[in-house]
Amino acid sequence: MARLKLKEHAINREWCKGCGICIHFCPKQVLELDSMEKVVAATPEDCICCKLCELRCPDLAIEVLTDQDEKND
């Protein structure tokens, strides 16, 4: 399988409650909370597109968009 390439982290700030699950379990420490206690991708260049944040997010607020998604659409 070809390596997925990140397009962007689509974060729904209205839905995010800042629980920190995605931040804690990110294997590359890509995410962090901003001053509003919402998640932001601080170092998106480190993202390996494992999508663990997307899978575990209890608020369905984060989506990892990759180049693969574009091809599927």
For the bound state, the minimum distance from the C-beta of residue 3 to another protein, rounded and expressed in Å, comes to 19
Q: How many residues bind another protein (CB under 8 A)?
A: 17
φ and ψ of 9, to 5 deg: -95, 115
For the bound state, the minimum distance from the C-beta of residue 27 to another protein, rounded and expressed in Å, comes to 14
Asked if residues 4 and 68 have their Cβ atoms less than 8 Å apart, the reply is: yes
| Binding residues among 14-73 for another protein as defined by CB under 8 A | 14-15, 17-21, 24-25, 52, 55-61
Report the candidate in 50, 55, 52, 53 with the shortest Cα–Cα distance to residue 66: 50
Residues lying near another protein in the complex (CB under 8 A)? 14-15, 17-21, 24-25, 52, 55-61
